[in-house]
Amino acid sequence: MTPQKRLFDIALALALSVLLAAPFLILCLLLLAVQGRPIFYVAERMKAPGRPFALWKLRTMRPAGPNEAGVSGGDKAARVSPLGRMLRKTRADEIPQLWNVLRGDMSFVGPRPPLRQYVERFPALYGQVLQSRPGITGLASLHIHRFEERILASCRTAEETDIVYVRRSIPRKAKLDLIYQAHQSVCFDLVLIWQTARRVLRRS
């Protein structure tokens, strides 16, 4: 990560933290009233091979059971609350990731931070992809997200979700993440952030 990109991330994260402080507090109180505790979902993700970090989100699902690891597919759809679906649609559940950006675990733009199991299964691929710091949004997030939602929604077991994710999602996302990596700049980041904001506003 270049010093310019890091400075941009810090400045934008601080500005959004101030701007979103009141709405975020209201969301936390609403979640507490409707869903109870915990308000936050904290999960291990990888910022580089062998370098895990704690990813913060607002909780959108009922707490997982002991055998409910892995990416979210149709097999986990029943766990998503009505309020959680709204938070996901507006991406408001990702507001706590401003803390991850300030800590330096993430950037605003980059590959979505993967689960440890996939980094360990595909070390060469993720060794390349994670040369860019993971991001809240990115080229792959913009162009693959709806496709990924659609193909995983039809999965009915964790095993099926894993197979479909590995075969049809990971290669597509990695290809776009590497294209972003080759053309990375603060100006490109601004374009992708604007496109993300516009898409969220349309969906809202």
pLDDT in tens, 6-32: 999 999 999 999 999 999 999 999 999
Closest to 141 (Cα-Cα) out of 118, 115, 112: 112
pLDDT band at 1 (very low <50, low <70, confident <90, very high): confident
pLDDT confidence of residue 76: 81
3-state DSSP call for residue 61?
strand
Determine the Cα angle at 103 with ends 100 and 142, to 5°.
35
pLDDT in tens, 69-121: 678 777 787 788 999 999 999 999 999 999 999 999 999 999 999 999 999 99
pLDDT confidence of residue 69: 64
- Check residues 65 and 158 and name the one with the higher pLDDT: 158
pLDDT band at 204 (very low <50, low <70, confident <90, very high): low
Q: How far apart are CA 156 and CA 130, in angstroms?
A: 30
pLDDT band at 146 (very low <50, low <70, confident <90, very high): confident
Average pLDDT value for the chain:
92
